[in-house]
Amino acid sequence: MKESELDIQRIDPTLYNQDLAPLKPSERNWGAFEIFNVWSNDIQSLFGYTLAASLFLTYGLNGWAVMAAIILAGVIVMYLVNLTGKPSVKYGIPFPVMVRASMGVRGANLPALLRAIVGIFWYGVQTYFASTAVALLITALFGVGEGSTFLGLSAVGWLSFVIVWLFQIAIFWQGIERIKHFLNWAGPLVYVVMVVLMIVVWFQAGSDLLPAVSTIFSADSEREGSAIGAFLAIVGTMVAYFAAVVINFGDFTRFVKTERQMKLGNLLGLPLNVAFFSFIALIITAGTLVLFGDALTNPADIVERVDSLPLTIVAALTFFAATVGINLVANFIPPAYDLANLFPSKISFKVGGLITAVLAFFVGALWVSLISQIGVPGFVNALGAIVAPFFGIIVVDYYLVKRQHLDMQELFSSAPDSAYYYVKGWNRRALMAFGGAALFSISTVLVPALSGLTGYGWMMGAALGGLFYYGLMLGQRPVVATSGA
């Protein structure tokens, strides 16, 4: 039996639907360019820019060191996603099916549900950020005033938010191919606009720009703790920003033709992409200090203050497209798969997407008035810490316990003697490993006494999850695939 073929007669219908089934090699048409654009849209989204720019201002660290920390995070994430993406390239399965091998065919619902919750939160937040670009466009064209607000959003803000919310559903409903085409032009175009914005800011700032850059690079602002600690915190925060995609990268690589194409896309899309983009963010942030007296971290705010209607229109459309692009890929597709995994016979991929959109609407609506008050880095670290241990468990299980072999048929079987049934469908050892590691990783964000570890929560949670899992699984006989290996 081939890896992408299953014996339908032996499948448990509560574990299977067409969206979760292994994807045949002939049905995979993604290459390095598509993977590159996944990361391009992620990094170049309005939230991604805001996070990168805020890191230059938050830690009181030399600007060159901040850039180095961001680039190092890109290198680390590249290696992490190469590990989690490889199994899905080989077998063509999404994350919630892949995690059945370690958590159990029923236990996989836990990481799927938690990942869905994280995705729904991100979806709502990114929808809000994309709506700021639409609001900018409406204001530039029609000159609409702010007026009264509700939950921190004006009438234009609410209109823009609903427009973005509906637009994303319309794109998603047309399928993965439409999303791919959308990404393929949105990713490169936003780079063009960001470079133009950098040039415009540089030109208007004139000879005062370089001294402003030196100000950011001088690390004059106060900082608690050591420079090394700040450097590592920035690395950890940026890794945590990508954490949601790192965990379920198989949701995308199942569409990739070869492992080589995946790795090339990751190389171009992460360390190289991050290096160039962080440089652009630095120059623009320094320019805003000169032009406006404040270091602005939201590109929409910057464009609004740069008095150029053509640039405002083009930039608003581009920022909107880039933010919507990563939202569809990183925050719509994974929860859609995850929710479908909970009840495959009742929830399809599209229905899971609709559930995601409805729940995320309320998250985005509350972003300004409530969620954003904990701060951007804190929000990123908290969400990342929740799912961090699953990375270590998945990687250790696939590479060290299962020895890179999975039985596709068994992943869809709930027979008591099947390979991934464990105890009533749950791998209790994996559950214990997750609980112990998650308790620590989330504590680094929520417990004041551990505030010194803020920024490291994701990486430490992932490492502990893998370590605990390996220790608990020692002495267990490796499950080697009997078919589809």
Whether the predicted pLDDT of 121 surpasses 90: no
CA–CA separation, 413 and 198 (whole Å) = 55
- Kindly state the average pLDDT of the residues 447-469: 84
Q: Which residues have CB under 8 Å from 26's CB, separation 6+?
A: none
Whether the predicted pLDDT of 3 surpasses 70: no
Q: Which residues have CB under 8 Å from 67's CB, separation 6+?
A: 275, 278, 279, 282
404-428 pLDDT, tens digit per residue, is 999 999 999 999 999 999 999 999 9
Q: Identity (one letter) of the amino acid at 20?
A: L
Whether the predicted pLDDT of 364 surpasses 60: yes
DSSP 8-state assignment for residue 449: G
Closest-CA residue to 135 (of 124, 119, 147): 147
- Kindly state the average pLDDT of the residues 256-264: 96
Closest-CA residue to 388 (of 177, 243, 232): 243
pLDDT at 300: 67
Higher pLDDT pick, 337 / 377: 337
Closest-CA residue to 326 (of 463, 105, 168, 432): 168
SS3 347: coil
- Kindly state the average pLDDT of the residues 438-460: 80
pLDDT at 397: 96
Look-up: residue for tokens 């640039």? 311
Whether the predicted pLDDT of 220 surpasses 60: no
Other C-beta atoms closer than 10 Å to the C-beta of 370 total 12
Structure tokens at 33: 């360019």
Closest-CA residue to 270 (of 40, 20, 22): 40
Q: Identity (one letter) of the amino acid at 414?
A: S
Whether the predicted pLDDT of 333 surpasses 60: yes
- Kindly state the average pLDDT of the residues 85-97: 95
Q: Which residues have CB under 8 Å from 414's CB, separation 6+?
A: 12, 14, 15, 105, 106, 421, 425
Q: Give the Cα-Cα-Cα angle 260, 261, 263 (nearest 5 degrees).
A: 65
Q: Which residues have CB under 8 Å from 222's CB, separation 6+?
A: 60
Strands (E), 57-188: 149-150, 153-154
Closest-CA residue to 390 (of 105, 95, 75, 42): 95
153-180 pLDDT, tens digit per residue, is 888 989 999 999 999 999 888 877 888 8
Higher pLDDT pick, 376 / 105: 105
Q: Give the Cα-Cα-Cα angle 438, 331, 442 (nearest 5 degrees).
A: 15
What distances in angstroms separate CA 240 from CA 48, 134, 197, 246, 437, one per listed residue?
12, 28, 28, 9, 15
CA–CA separation, 318 and 312 (whole Å) = 10
pLDDT at 146: 62
CA–CA separation, 98 and 87 (whole Å) = 8
DSSP 8-state assignment for residue 361: H
pLDDT at 475: 64
Whether the predicted pLDDT of 148 surpasses 70: no
276-327 pLDDT, tens digit per residue, is 888 888 888 888 878 887 777 777 677 777 767 787 787 778 778 877 887 8
Give the percent of the chain with pLDDT over 90.
Answer: 33
Read off the pLDDT band of 482 (50, 70, 90). very low
- Kindly state the average pLDDT of the residues 233-238: 86
SS3 358: helix
SS3 150: strand
CA–CA separation, 316 and 327 (whole Å) = 16
Structure tokens at 279: 């440089």
SS3 7: coil
Whether the predicted pLDDT of 4 surpasses 60: no
- Whether residue 421 contacts residue 104, with contact meaning beta carbons closer than 8 Å, is answered with yes
pLDDT at 377: 55
SS3 352: helix
Identify the burial level of 179 via C-beta atoms within 10 angstroms of its C-beta, where 0-12 means exposed, 13-18 middle and 19 or more buried.
Answer: buried
Structure tokens at 251: 């949701």
- Kindly state the average pLDDT of the residues 355-379: 79
pLDDT at 480: 46
Read off the pLDDT band of 5 (50, 70, 90). low
Q: Which residues have CB under 8 Å from 393's CB, separation 6+?
A: 102, 103, 430, 433, 434, 465, 466, 469
Structure tokens at 101: 């091998």
- Out of 255-264, 336-345, 444-453, the most confident range is 255-264
SS3 415: coil
- Kindly state the average pLDDT of the residues 176-204: 81
Taking the CA atoms of residue 43, residue 273, residue 457 and residue 295 in that order, the dihedral angle to the nearest 10 degrees is: -60
Which residue segments constitute the domains of the chain, with CATH numbers given? 18-375 (1.10.4160.10)
